[in-house]
Structure 1
Amino acid sequence: MPNYIRLILAAIILGAAITLMIFGFWGWGILSVFIAILITVTFFYNEYMLIAQYYLRKDNMDQAGVWLSRIKNYETQLFSGQHGYYNLLIGLIESRKAPLQSEKYFKRAISLGMTMDHNIALAKLSLAGIAMAKRNKREATLYLQEAKKADKNKLLADQIKMMKEQMGQMDRTVQQRNYRQF
């Protein structure tokens, strides 16, 4: 169902609730108001994305993918503020299957924008990991610096520190290979 139809449906139910209360059916009117509020909330927070986030927290990527696949056209089904989060969730699921293929989703999530800084930091940290896998140290360093800047609450500080240590180990392995060649 297109997202704006939810708002129209919520307005109709709210109108019916007011009508019920005017005619003295307070119980049904209050229940209808709660239903209208619930439908309005699903305009801003899509239920499929909420369920997918739940399964991501439980580390059940298959179920999260199933719930996200129910969103056929995210541009019409989701509020524009959720487009970046949708691509972030798809990128997180894809990073488990094919890490290098998930890069486009993370970049699209950053370009579409997200309101929470720690989600931006997560996307940039993931891009840094992908750049390290491609042996592109300069790009990985750039993404790590941006992730550290975006992580204002220090939620990803340990992961950023670990990624920097891995980059240091990457330099040592390159130096050891070059030393063995001579």
Structure 2
Amino acid sequence: MQIYYKIMPNFLRLIIGFAFLGAAVALMVFSFWGWGILLVFLSILIFVTFFYNEHMLLAQWYLRKDNMEKAAQALARIKNFEKELYKPQYGYYSLLIGLIESRKAPMKSEKHFKQALSFGLQMSHNIALAKLSLAGIAIGKRNKREAQMYLTEAKKADKNKLLADQIKQIKDQMGMMDKQQQVRYTR
């Protein structure tokens, strides 16, 4: 019974998407092109929300707009992520929570980034983002060895060089940490 409750809304969404697509084709056959194209776009929207949770999409949009409160509210609508999301989305859910939490309390967001990596992320730049965030947290804890490990892993994962500036900033912070340690030893 519990599995039926979990799967039914998604299958219902899929059935509605195919119904809209069929209606769009029928409207185009009868020369109602405007309405047909509108229904094609609506069916595409329904199919996108079948594969990607709409609350996570809203949270990503709010994160891009730098509105953390609304992003947190959008993610809070997901009550039990294991029931509402597909398994490949677990990592992205944890990554989004980690990004929101890192603005409030950076040291508390470490568990979410590690959880995102353990669940698995498919895109290499998201893996690099999680590891870069973990490197920043390790620097905050003054753990240079761990920060260096995460930084090299982030550099490997960032194949398209999307995070090159942030990686350079973390390296600079590590250099500042080395200088501070040298000053302590010379005193």
Bin for the TM-score computed over the shorter chain: 0.7 to 0.9
Q: Provide the rounded CA distance (Å) in 2 between the counterparts of 1:130 and 1:6.
A: 37
Aligned counterparts, 1:9-24, within 5 A: 9-11=13-15, 14=18, 18=22, 21=26
2:12 counterpart residue number: 8
Count of residue pairs brought into register by the alignment: 178
1:162 counterpart residue number: 169
Matched, 1:179 2:186: yes
Paired letter, 1:152: K
Deviation at 1:11, TM superposition (A): 2.0
Unaligned runs of 5+ in 2: none
Secondary structure of the residue that 1:154 maps to in structure 2? coil
Deviation at 1:7, TM superposition (A): 2.2
Q: Provide the rounded CA distance (Å) in 2 between the counterparts of 1:72 and 1:152.
A: 34
Q: Deviations over 1:110-132 (max 9, x none)?
A: 11111110010000000000011
Q: Provide the rounded CA distance (Å) in 2 between the counterparts of 1:155 and 1:18.
A: 40
Report the TM-score when normalising by structure 2.
0.83
Q: Provide the rounded CA distance (Å) in 2 between the counterparts of 1:3 and 1:86.
A: 19
2:65 counterpart residue number: 58
Q: Provide the rounded CA distance (Å) in 1 between the counterparts of 2:164 and 2:85.
A: 31
Are 2:63 and 2:71, in contact at CA under 8 Å, matched by a contact in 1? yes
1:75 counterpart residue number: 82
Deviation at 1:19, TM superposition (A): 8.6
Q: Deviations over 1:21-72 (max 9, x none)?
A: 5xx9896x95766655433321211111111111111111111101110111
Q: Provide the rounded CA distance (Å) in 2 between the counterparts of 1:146 and 1:135.
A: 18
Report the TM-score when normalising by structure 1.
0.86
Unaligned runs of 5+ in 1: none
Matched, 1:123 2:130: yes
